[in-house]
Structure 1
C-alpha cells in the first residue's frame, strides 16, 4: 500500500475521514479545517491510498490537544486501521512510518492515549503493547498513557494532574469536546437538543484551543461526558445511546400523552 502525507495542497481532495464517504459532508469539512489549522504546528496525517479506515495522525507532544507532559516526544492523536484493511500489515506499515519520521525529527519517542481494555475511539492497547509500548501513567477510570522511547533512560511522559481524576464540580450533564473527530460536529448538537427537549440539565463545552485542551479535566479531550461531576464516557454518543444513559439515571420521563 502506498502511504500519502496530507498537506495543505492535497487536503481538500484527499479522503481523510474513517467512515464518511463524501468530501463535502459537513463533518469532513470540520475535520479538514481542524487539520489545516494544525499543519503549521507540526501535525502529520499519513494515510493509505484508499478511501477507508487506514491512517495515523500525530503531532509534537508540546502541541498536542491532550493534558500530558511529554517534552520531546511525538503524540499520536489517532491511529486506526479497520475493515478490509485490517490484518494485512497496514498497522505495522503506518506505525513504522511514524517511528521513522519521528526519529528523523529528533524525537525521544512516541506517546499515545489508550485504555486498560479496548475502548471506543481509543487505540488498541493489545497491539500497542505487542509493538513495545509500555504503560507510563494512568488516569481514572481506565485511561493508560503508553510510550515507546527510542533510547533508554529517556524522561518518562505523564498525565497532567488536572486530568488524573476525571472529575468536575458542575452538576448535570457536562460535555467537553473538540472538532478533532468529525463525528462530534454532528452528534453533539443532537444529544444537546434531546436534553433540552426533556428539560435535562446539559451543557456542551467546546474546547477551542490547545491551552484549553491541555488543562482539560479528562485525558480524552475529543469527547468526555460527565454527570454530576463524575466521568461517564468517552464514546461519541448517538441519540439512542444517550437516551439509554439518561434512562439509567432515571431522567428519561415518558410523554404523558402517550
Structure 2
C-alpha cells in the first residue's frame, strides 16, 4: 500500500479520487479551488494498492480555513474521507488515512483533529472515527461534530449555528462552492430545471471559508433554500429538484 500526497504539480496525473475525468468542468473548478487552498495548508492524500489502484482518500485543512460551520481554533479539520469498496472498509485503511491527518496536525503543533459526520450519503459515518479515539462533542440536526485532541487544556471545537442565517434567503436561492467537484453539474441541472418551471432562482458561489462557515447549511458548501427554509444541504439531481419544486409550488 502507498499513500500519494496530491499537489498542484501532480493533480492532473493523480486526480482528486472522487472525480477522475480531468476534462470534466467540475474537475477544473476543483483544481482551481485546490490550488488556492494549497497555500492555506490543505492536504489531499490518496491511498493506492500494489497495483496502483485507488482505494480511498482523505482531505484535511487547518480548522481556521475549513469550509464547514465550525469554530475549532488550533485543530486540523477533516473535510472528507472515503474508502470506495465495502470489502476494503474493514482492513485498516481508514485508520491509515486518519493517521496521515494526525501526523500532519502534530507536525504543525496543533491541538487535535476534528470532523463533521452524518449517517447516509455525502459524509463519513462517525463509527470509524469513534473506533480511533474520536469523541462526539456536538450535534445539530443530522450532523455530529467529533474531536480527537492531545492537548487537554484546549477548548473543544464548536458548531456554528447555521440556522440563524436562513431567514435572510427570501425566494429561491442556491449556494455552492467548488470544494466538491460535483456541484458544477448539479447547479447546471438545477438551473435548467428551474427554467422549465419558470422559477427565478438566485445562484451564489461561496468563495471563502468564512462564507462557508457563516452560511445557511450544515454542509457549508451547498444549500438550496426557499423563503428562509433549507430544502437540501448537499448536491441533488434534476429529478430530485423537480419533486421539490412540485411540492413547494403547491404550498
| TM-score normalised over the length of structure 2 | 0.89
Give the structure 2 partner of residue 132 of structure 1.
133
* CA distance in 2: counterparts of 1:226 and 1:127, whole angstroms: 32
Query: Does 2:115 match 1:112?
Result: yes
Partner SS state of residue 44, structure 2: strand
1:156 Cα deviation from its structure 2 partner: 0.9
Partner SS state of residue 13, structure 2: coil
Give the structure 2 partner of residue 25 of structure 1.
24
Structure number with higher helix proportion: 2
Partner SS state of residue 3, structure 1: strand
Give the structure 1 partner of residue 150 of structure 2.
150
* CA distance in 2: counterparts of 1:13 and 1:144, whole angstroms: 34
Alignment CA distance shift 1:4-1:177 (3 Å): same
Partner SS state of residue 27, structure 2: helix
Alignment CA distance shift 1:171-1:11 (3 Å): same
Asked if the contact 1:69/1:159 (under 8 Å) is kept, the reply is yes
1:106 Cα deviation from its structure 2 partner: 0.7
Give the structure 1 partner of residue 79 of structure 2.
77
Asked if the contact 2:179/2:221 (under 8 Å) is kept, the reply is yes
Partner SS state of residue 210, structure 2: helix
Give the structure 2 partner of residue 184 of structure 1.
183
* CA distance in 2: counterparts of 1:166 and 1:89, whole angstroms: 40
Alignment CA distance shift 1:170-1:156 (3 Å): same
Query: Does 2:47 match 1:45?
Result: no
How do 1:170-249 residues align onto structure 2 when only pairs under 5 Å count?
Answer: 170-249=169-248
1:85 Cα deviation from its structure 2 partner: 4.1
Alignment CA distance shift 1:218-1:122 (3 Å): same
1:7-47 Cα shifts (integer Å, max 9, x gaps): 222122112131x4422222112111111111111001111
1:209-233 Cα shifts (integer Å, max 9, x gaps): 2232232122312212222211222
State how many pairs are aligned: 247
Give the structure 2 partner of residue 169 of structure 1.
168
5+ unaligned residues in a row in structure 1: which ranges? 253-258
| TM-score normalised over the length of structure 1 | 0.87
Larger CA deviation: 177-186 vs 144-153: 144-153
5+ unaligned residues in a row in structure 2: which ranges? none
